[in-house]
């Protein structure tokens, strides 16, 4: 017959004390305001000092170029890169399944106009959903897609 040993008293007390402070969430006043800069993470491919995707001033419109560039960068990473990949080669997590085109392919780049790209972003095509985005962000995404053009 196997005997079960009770937990040492010190360990029980430590567990009790550590769980005591977790009975409610922190107050809203102790939380900092979220900003787009907080979205950056180690696995998103950006190196420190590297310019965000879309570049500053590429997407002109309402608001400052910097804010629009941040929105373009976040939109690309959160909405587009899932299928098209960070570098636009169609190698995102969902890319092979939805047959996302390689946006770096020169033949593809020359086969579409800027208006075609903007239309596909706004209205979707095949398995690509439509995106309701401000015109300045659409313009920035088109500029980003054009910047992906390979040799």
**Tokens encoding 150:** 């390979």
Of 150, 142, 121, the closest CA to residue 58 belongs to: 142
pTM of the model: 0.58
Superfamily of domain 52-147: Cytochrome c-like domain (1.10.760.10)
- pLDDT tens readout for residues 32-52: 776 666 665 545 554 444 444
- 36 three-class SS: helix
Residue extents of the structural domains in the chain: 52-147
Q: How far is CA 56 from the centre of its chain?
A: 17
pLDDT by position in tens, the chain (length 151): 666 666 566 666 655 555 555 566 666 777 777 666 666 554 555 444 444 444 443 434 444 567 889 999 999 999 999 999 999 999 999 999 999 999 999 999 999 999 999 999 999 988 899 999 999 999 999 999 999 987 7
């Amino acid at each position: 017959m196997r005997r079960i040993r009770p937990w040492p008293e010190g360990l029980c007390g430590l567990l009790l004390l550590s769980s005591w402070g977790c009975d409610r969430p922190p107050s809203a006043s102790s939380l900092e305001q979220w900003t787009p800069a907080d979205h950056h993470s180690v696995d998103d491919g950006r190196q420190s000092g590297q310019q965000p995707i879309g570049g500053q001033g590429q997407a002109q419109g309402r608001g400052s170029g910097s804010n629009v560039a941040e929105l373009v960068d976040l939109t690309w990473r959160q909405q587009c890169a899932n299928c098209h990949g960070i570098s636009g080669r169609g190698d995102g997590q969902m890319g092979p399944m939805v047959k996302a085109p390689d946006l770096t392919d020169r033949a593809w780049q020359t086969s579409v106009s800027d208006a075609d790209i903007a239309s596909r972003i706004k209205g979707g095509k095949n398995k690509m959903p439509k995106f309701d985005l401000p015109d300045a962000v659409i313009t920035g995404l088109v500029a980003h897609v054009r910047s992906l053009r390979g040799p």
